[in-house]
């Protein structure tokens, strides 16, 4: 695909996302995050009162873990902002795409294992958070695959048909930049298409 066609596709994608998510309601919950980051005042302070249209590349790169710990309503509200930023900056946002795809598909044990590794790395890089309770690495496996899929369903069940369709267009756009994630992107596409079809 030529650079010109890429740019045209990007503009079409932006219009699709903005139109589909226009008017989505902001979360009114006491906290925007669950799991370990519910006790992280920095995240709450950054995102509290922020509109998804106001998200910037600097903000999302400074807080890459935010996608993993948004509550379901907060995830649905901020998703279009992340999609716009990722689409416009595919090379800089690879880690964000990795995190985002977990919440656009039903998960396997392998996927949950990856989230456990991400969380372990987060604690190692942020030693001041060691007093907080891990979300994925729990001894009783309460936050295992079944619970994980319930969390994904809690997010996806809140979208409308046109929003699922925007997610499909977004994932197809990313196939140009991330051929090594073809299988995961196809999973996300099939998931969104299935949910969209149930709302016809």
d(CA 136, CA 118): 9
Higher per-residue confidence, 196 vs 150: 196
Work out whether the CA dihedral 13, 15, 20, 22 comes out positive or negative.
positive
What is the domain partition of the chain in residue ranges?
Answer: 3-197
**Residues 126-185: pLDDT tens digits?**
666 554 555 555 554 444 556 667 777 888 888 999 999 999 999 999 998 988 888 889
Range picked from 33-47, 82-96, 104-118 for highest mean pLDDT: 82-96
The values of phi and psi at residue 142, to 5°, are -60, -30
Give per-residue pLDDT as tens, 19-64.
999 989 886 777 788 765 454 567 888 898 899 999 999 999 988 8
- What pLDDT shows up at residue 173? 95
Residue 10 buriedness (CB in 10 A; 0-12 / 13-18 / 19+) = middle
Which pLDDT does position 56 carry in this prediction? Answer: 96
Give 66's pLDDT tier (boundaries 50, 70, 90): confident
**70 SS3 class:** strand
DSSP state at residue 181: G
Task: Name, in order, each residue with C-beta under 8 angstroms of 115's C-beta and a sequence gap of 6 or more.
Answer: 68, 102, 136, 148
Taking the CB of residue 18, how many other CB atoms lie within 10 A of it?
Answer: 15
How far apart are alpha carbons 157 and 34 in whole angstroms? 18
């Amino acid at each position: 695909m030529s650079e010109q066609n890429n740019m045209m596709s990007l503009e079409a994608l932006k219009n699709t996302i903005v139109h589909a998510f226009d008017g989505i309601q902001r979360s009114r919950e006491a906290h925007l995050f669950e799991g370990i980051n519910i006790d992280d005042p920095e995240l709450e302070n950054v995102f509290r009162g922020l509109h998804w249209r106001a998200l910037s590349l600097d903000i999302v790169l400074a807080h890459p873990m935010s996608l993993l710990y948004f509550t379901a309503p907060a995830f649905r509200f901020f998703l279009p902002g992340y999609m716009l930023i990722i689409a416009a900056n595919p090379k800089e946002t690879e880690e964000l795409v990795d995190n985002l795809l977990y919440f656009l598909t039903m998960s396997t044990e392998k996927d949950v294992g990856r989230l456990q590794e991400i969380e372990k790395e987060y604690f190692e890089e942020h030693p001041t958070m060691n007093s907080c309770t891990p979300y994925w690495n729990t001894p009783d496996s309460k936050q295992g695959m079944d619970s994980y899929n319930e969390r994904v369903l809690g997010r996806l069940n809140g979208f409308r048909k046109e929003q699922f369709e925007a997610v499909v267009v977004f994932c197809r756009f990313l196939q140009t930049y991330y051929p090594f994630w073809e299988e995961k992107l196809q999973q996300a596409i099939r998931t969104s298409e299935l949910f969209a079809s149930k709302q016809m």
